[in-house]
């Protein structure tokens, strides 16, 4: 009987430790937004862009990012995707602008070009979706951000986060 209660205690201790581990999850998810987009390389079948991501750490511990995977959608259609394995550290209650690369295929690019030439919008809506792998955390942390890209008369697109309601 004593052996059974010992196993029950160990099981209870393991369960409590597991719950404690879940409680030490990243306290507040980082906020990620697009701060810029510029073409890097254009080829017949593939185009590469530099996407500048603003990562805000809203927590009281440094955020150590080991890698990211992301997709960007323009006007509701997938435009480009990318991955980044360069380690990034964002200080506690701080932010970093991180340049990453995205690649789009010719058909996604032509669909967006067709939309731009027909509608000539002053802005495009975008959605950034992805996940990041944090050092010391077993699961990926998902992120999503909606906003608009504006086309000023003097250059390429600028990002603007959505208006607060």
Over the stretch 39-70, which tens digit does the pLDDT of each residue have? 999 888 899 999 999 999 999 999 999 999 99
| Coil, helix or strand at residue 163 | coil
Mean pLDDT to the nearest integer, 85-93: 95
Residue 165 C-beta-side C-alpha neighbours within 13 Å: 1
In a domain, 54, yes or no: yes
pLDDT at res. 36: 86
In a domain, 21, yes or no: no
Domain holding 54: CATH number? 2.60.40.10
In a domain, 22, yes or no: no
| Max Cα–Cα distance, the chain, nearest Å | 81
pLDDT at residue 111 tops 80: no
Query: Between these two residues, 48 and 117, which has the higher pLDDT value?
Result: 48
Expressed as residue numbers, the domain containing 82 is 27-154
pTM check: above 0.85: no
Q: How many domains does the chain have?
A: 1
Q: Which residues pair with 54 in a beta bridge?
A: 33, 97
| Coil, helix or strand at residue 108 | helix
Over the stretch 8-22, which tens digit does the pLDDT of each residue have? 555 555 554 454 444
- Cβ partners under 8 Å of residue 63, min gap 6: 26, 30, 55, 57, 89, 90, 92, 134
In a domain, 95, yes or no: yes
């Amino acid at each position: 009987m004593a052996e059974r209660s010992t196993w029950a205690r160990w099981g209870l201790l393991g369960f409590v430790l597991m719950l404690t581990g879940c409680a030490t999850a990243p306290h507040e998810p980082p906020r990620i937004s697009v701060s810029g987009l510029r073409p890097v390389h254009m080829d017949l079948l593939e185009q590469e862009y530099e996407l500048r991501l603003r990562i805000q750490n809203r927590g009281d511990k440094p955020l150590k990012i080991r890698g990211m995977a992301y997709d960007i959608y323009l006007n509701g259609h997938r435009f480009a995707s990318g991955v980044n394995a360069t380690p990034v550290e964002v200080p506690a209650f701080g932010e970093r602008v991180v340049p990453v690369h995205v690649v789009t295929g010719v058909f996604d690019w032509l669909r967006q070009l067709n939309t731009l030439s027909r509608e000539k919008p002053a802005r495009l809506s975008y959605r950034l979706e992805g996940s990041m792998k944090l050092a010391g955390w077993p699961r990926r942390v998902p992120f999503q951000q909606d906003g608009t890209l504006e086309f000023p008369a003097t250059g390429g697109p600028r990002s603007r986060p959505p208006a607060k309601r």
